[in-house]
Structure 1
Amino acid sequence: MSMRGRPSRQAIYRQLTEGVEELRTRFGGLPTPLEAEDIWGNIWYQEVHNSTAIEGNTLVLKEVEVLLSEGRAVGAKQLTEYLEVRGYADAAQWVYQQGLTPGHWTTGELITLTEVRHVHTLALSKVWEVAPHPDATEQERPGAFRRHGIQSFPGGMQPPDWPDVPARMSTWVERACKLASAEGAFPDALADVHAEFERIHPFLDGNGRTGRLVTNLLLIRLGYPAAIIRKADRTRYLQNLRRADAGDPAPLGEFLARAILDTLMRFIVPSVAGPARLVPLTALADAQLSARALRSAAERGRLRAQRDVSGQWRSNRRWVDEYRARRYQRSHD
């Protein structure tokens, strides 16, 4: 059951399916980083900041942006924190590029073990050079599977013994490669794959970051935007991971679907649609005008908008700007 005023799981899944299909058919699919540097740059900053913050990194978004855009370390934080951000940023850029314009890495499969190891190497190498994991052996450097046992996590998740990791990861890759044809709701299948990676915990360190990165590689290759899991949602994310580990992937599936849909409507659709294309109101919302406020204005006839065949309100950037200007004028009359 959904909270009052909050779309149900089924509604979110339907919106995601319809939104991605519209992205493919009306707008030609996800733009490449070369075609849409601004779009991917904004996604990049947000993902890097939030995904590292989930693991305890204290750089705020502005500090992340300055580090990545100007190469300057501001904020007087520990060196390791800047290196964590820089490493994750390198890995995320590789994921975006390889997801949309794959090079020599491509084998025709959705993902390979080599790619998983490479993502981990990119994400961890910079910080590892100055602050390696204290228990790591030479055989456990970035990109290499762990050779240590790991105790069970709060909630009961139990990683396998380290000798079992290579076989478990091979099975994981086989399963991930079948995502496109998985039975049932796609977000639930994605949640299962994501939770299984975290359950295996293939590396000594950096599994959370790597798991989110490879999940985004899968998404982008399947034509979906990246999922940005926000630091404010960390507790709910971990709770949903535990529920997926216990055999109920639907809450994590819904969580991931909402994150993907947010990226689609917040970053992708407003940019590729242009000012005149009719798009869902969620793609036109911002800090001043929420989707709920826009819907209310449309229902009252104050915002030019149209209902599509599914009953969803649509408007465009030009009409919203006109409504915003009239609203501003009324407030100052």
Structure 2
Amino acid sequence: MDTELNQLLEQASQLKTKMAAYRPLSEAAVAQLEKNIRIEHVWSSNAIEGNTLNRYETASILDTGMTIHNVPIKDVLETLDLNAAYEYMTTLATEHIPLSTTIIRDLNRIVTLKTANDVSEAGTYRTIDVWPYGSEHRPYTSPLDIQPAVDALISWANQAQAMQHPIIYAADFHQRFVTIHPFLDGNGRTARLLMNMALTQAGYPVINVQPDKAARQAYMTALEASQEAQGPRLVFEKLITNYTIAELKRRIQTLALNEQNQKDAANDISPKLRKLLDQNNSDQSS
């Protein structure tokens, strides 16, 4: 394995261990954090594909159910669909449901349910050739080969998930899935959901590829490089590993701040109130 990548993976593993050593957040804080991450994912993953809603507009739609003035209805529907698909993905990850073609189809069904040209297209393998924008010479997997290619992907995943580092497995699955491009629409959003499902099942946080011009270009370039003539996945693996490291550091920062805030609050209390609280605790235990 590449030395730099190996060092990055070791750093990620150490950060994951460090994260687990912190006192967990309260249930209310966990719920809010998960909500923030979900909104971030819906916004960023859609934006990568051209959705025009910003983070605030995405949050407003998901929090209140209110549509935003003068935005395309398709962008609103994509937001609702991806939010539902994300929640389904987290359920699958929490219950450690084994990967299958059904899961892949179901996630794509939810992602594209309200925006597919025909509802029958959602979760259905495509029957026409498609290719990356501007790369007609490099079409995705032929329609006739999609079914066996997805079956082979599942077979590979069942072995690789137990053998590879979880981040490498998640990144490679994403890359292999997008290279097949089995559906007419929603392949990128489905791939990022499946990648995060793999990370979550392994105890790593959800990562959100950012949609700003530079980050999106780096993401697309890394994917393209890995697809050229079955080229190396190294650049894409490093990209996803760096995203994971950055998210682990943010999570640790949150947990460390939580512990410090609790310590500060415990020390910053008047003697009178402390005496009352101690008395209450004594009465409840007796």
Q: Which TM-score applies when normalising by structure 1? A: 0.69
1:169-216: CA deviation from partner (whole Å, max 9, x where unpaired): 011112223333335x55444332211111100001111111111111
Whether 1:52 and 2:46 are equivalent positions in the alignment is yes
| Residue 259 (str. 1) matches residue 255 (str. 2) | no
Shift of 1:159: 1.4
Alignment of 1:102-181 (within 5 A): 106=97, 109=98, 111-128=99-116, 132=117, 140-151=120-131, 154=134, 157-181=138-162
- Alignment of 1:225 with 2:221, yes or no, is no
After TM superposition, the structure 1 = structure 2 runs for residues 262-281 of structure 1, keeping only pairs within 5 Å, are 262-266=246-250, 268-273=251-256, 275-276=258-259
**Residue 248 (structure 1) aligned to one of 199, 214, 232:** 232
SS for the counterpart of 1:43 is helix
Gaps (5+ residues) in structure 1?
1-7, 277-315, 320-333
Q: CA RMSD in A?
A: 2.9
> In structure 1, which of residues 150, 161, 182 is the aligned counterpart of residue 163 of structure 2?
182
1:6-45 to structure 2, matched below 5 A, reads 9-24=5-20, 26-27=21-22, 36-45=30-39
What residue in structure 2 maps to residue 65 of structure 1?
59
2-structure distance, mates of 1:193, 1:234 = 19
Q: Which range is displaced more, 173-182 or 202-211?
A: 173-182
In 1, Cα distance between equivalents of 2:241 and 2:26: 22
Q: Tell me, yes or no, if the aligned pair for 1:52 and 1:209 is still in contact at 8 Å.
A: yes
Please list, as runs of the form range in 1=range in 2, the aligned pairs for 1:307-322 lying within 5 A after superposition. Answer: none
Aligned residues: 256
SS of residue paired to 1:73? coil
Bigger proportion of residues as helix: 2
Which letter does structure 2 place at the counterpart of 1:181? A
Q: Distance in 2 between matches of 1:28 and 1:180?
A: 29
Query: Residues 13-62 of structure 1, C-alpha deviation per residue, up to 9 Å, x if partnerless?
Result: 222111123334x2599x99998211111111111111100000010110
Query: 1:211 aligns to what?
Result: 191
| Compared CA separation, residues 28 and 254, structure 1 to 2 (3 A) | farther
Instruction: Report what 2:84 is aligned to.
Output: 90
AA in 2 matched with 1:209: R
Alignment gaps of 5+ in structure 2? 264-286
